[in-house]
Amino acid sequence: MELIHLNTVWIVIAAAMVLFMEGGFSLLEAGLVRTKNAVNVTMKIFVDLTIGALAFWLIGFGIMFGEDAFGLIGTSLFGSPEKINLGLELPSEAFVLFQMGFAIACVSIVSGAVAERMNFKAYIIAAALITLLIYPISGHWIWNSDGWLAQLGMKDFAGSAAIHAVGGFAALAIAKLLGARKGRFNNDGSVNVFAPSNIPLASSGAFILWFGWFAFNSGSTLDASDASLASIAINTMLAGASGGTVTLLLTMNKFGKADPSMTINGVLSGLVAITAGCAFVDQWSAIIIGAISGIIVIYATLLIDNMKIDDPVGAVAVHGFNGIFGTVAVGLFDSTEGLFTTGSFSLLGIQVLGALVVAVWGLVGGVAIAKIADITVGLRATEEEEEEGLDMSYHGIPAYNELERFTDLPTSLYNFEESTGITVARSEQKKIVG
């Protein structure tokens, strides 16, 4: 098989795996939020895959990979991203599809942090603006060869900074301006824990994300014959396993219980942190990076709570803080330029600068999105909508139809209530008695 054909098959499959990660986001978030908001988080993922995908294809890709202007922004390829000249043995359409998966993933990071109280129309605006402008502009700086951070020599192989840090810090800004869910924080500063609706569902989402991450990282080679494919994949596995191990053991020690949601986020943190350096570090470094990320996610989560910022799924700690750490870690552990491997500070300085710039850009973008949404459609759901749950308020259907399990019981309303002990609302009586 010719190389171009092999590459086409590899990257299209990798793109499909990255896009399948949206199913992981959906299950993860649906499992970690309360039952009355599970449909809403799923619908937001559909917004990412529809509106977000089209916005990136139409404009975002051109801003990111188009002809450079001043190292800051792309100025071509709008509405025709397939006209990009890659200089690779790969059809441009395969590259566009792969990059589309990355753009959508950036938006989905925000979805979890604003769950259970964001106006659905406001989220549509957020998804459009992130894929049109916020993600592509900083992505241009890092991944367009003429971008100013790329020119400085910044390394971010698969997007710890370009995707995760940008999405994580945009999520932080929006969540802060959005405010906490009702009852989340007490006046004395204590935090009320809202129990997740379905941990096995959330775990399934994490497994899908972990599966897709092999394509997320290894696919970034854009070359099926690249000798580093296997080492990238094993580094990805080791970092995720290391992050999960540390959070599992630390929560057992700190709380006396093996915390499932924190273990899930520990795995995801290891994957986020290794994404920048997966092609540049050895396996022991990958394990160390993953382990540190597992520590970071615990204390970053506590910090976010202390700041009275409500993040229902821990997206800011996982993607924001560990996106920054993973970017800086390249400057420490890079096999050829890292501080710990060569004694050189040069790359570390560039990585720190890039991480800080991207974090600030994410915050600025998040504030801008929140303000635009607030002025146009309103940023937050009403108190009544939040109390009822966003599933019924915005989508008119619950995640789980509790009445359906009683359909084999007597259809008489009296018998129904007598046999179940459930008093049925007047609006539902007609459905039950027929």
DSSP codes, 131-150: IIIIHHHHHHHHHSTTSHHH
Q: Take residue 290 and report the two structure tokens written for it.
A: 């993953």
pLDDT of residue 415: 46
Distance of alpha carbon 171 from alpha carbon 304, whole angstroms: 12
pLDDT in tens, 151-201: 999 999 999 999 999 999 999 999 999 999 999 999 887 899 898 999 999
pLDDT of residue 208: 98
pLDDT of residue 190: 87
Both 289 and 405 in a single domain? no
Instruction: Show the domain range for 414.
Output: 401-433
Residues of the chain with pLDDT under 70: 1, 402-434
Both 277 and 408 in a single domain? no
Residue 161, domain member (yes or no): yes
Distance of alpha carbon 248 from alpha carbon 263, whole angstroms: 5
pTM: 0.92
CB 221 within 8 A of CB 280: no
pLDDT of residue 344: 95
Q: Take residue 244 and report the two structure tokens written for it.
A: 């999960």
Both 54 and 120 in a single domain? yes
Residue 177, domain member (yes or no): yes
Both 306 and 422 in a single domain? no
pLDDT of residue 403: 54
pLDDT of residue 1: 61
Distance of alpha carbon 155 from alpha carbon 219, whole angstroms: 16
Other CB atoms within 10 A of residue 215 CB: 25
pLDDT in tens, 348-381: 999 999 999 999 999 999 999 999 999 999 999 9
pLDDT of residue 401: 77
State whether residue 380 is helix, strand or coil: strand
State whether residue 72 is helix, strand or coil: coil
Both 271 and 374 in a single domain? yes
Element holding 74 (H helix, E strand): strand 73-74
Q: Take residue 13 and report the two structure tokens written for it.
A: 């499959």
Both 408 and 350 in a single domain? no
Both 427 and 363 in a single domain? no
Please state the domain count of the chain.
Answer: 2
Residue 66, domain member (yes or no): yes
State whether residue 189 is helix, strand or coil: coil
Other CB atoms within 10 A of residue 31 CB: 24
CB 419 within 8 A of CB 405: no
Both 58 and 98 in a single domain? yes
Residue 103, domain member (yes or no): yes
Q: Take residue 259 and report the two structure tokens written for it.
A: 């915390």
Nearest Cα residue to 326 out of 299, 297, 301, 346: 297
pLDDT of residue 31: 97
pLDDT of residue 314: 97
pLDDT of residue 404: 53
Residue 395, domain member (yes or no): no
pLDDT of residue 400: 87
Three state DSSP letters for 301-369: HHHHHHCCCCCCCCHHHHHHHHHHHHHHHHHHHCCCCCHHHHCCCHHHHHHHHHHHHHHHHHHHHHHHH
Burial-class residue 44 by CB neighbours within 10 Å (0-12, 13-18, 19+): buried
Both 117 and 243 in a single domain? yes
Both 167 and 225 in a single domain? yes
Distance of alpha carbon 378 from alpha carbon 177, whole angstroms: 12
Query: What are the respective helix, strand and coil percentages of the chain, to the nearest 5?
Result: 70, 0, 25
Both 228 and 345 in a single domain? yes
Residue 396, domain member (yes or no): no
CATH number at residue 180: 1.10.3430.10
Residue 393, domain member (yes or no): no
Residue 144, domain member (yes or no): yes
Both 374 and 427 in a single domain? no
Report CA-CA distances (Å) from 348 to 150, 327, 357: 14, 9, 14
pLDDT of residue 82: 96
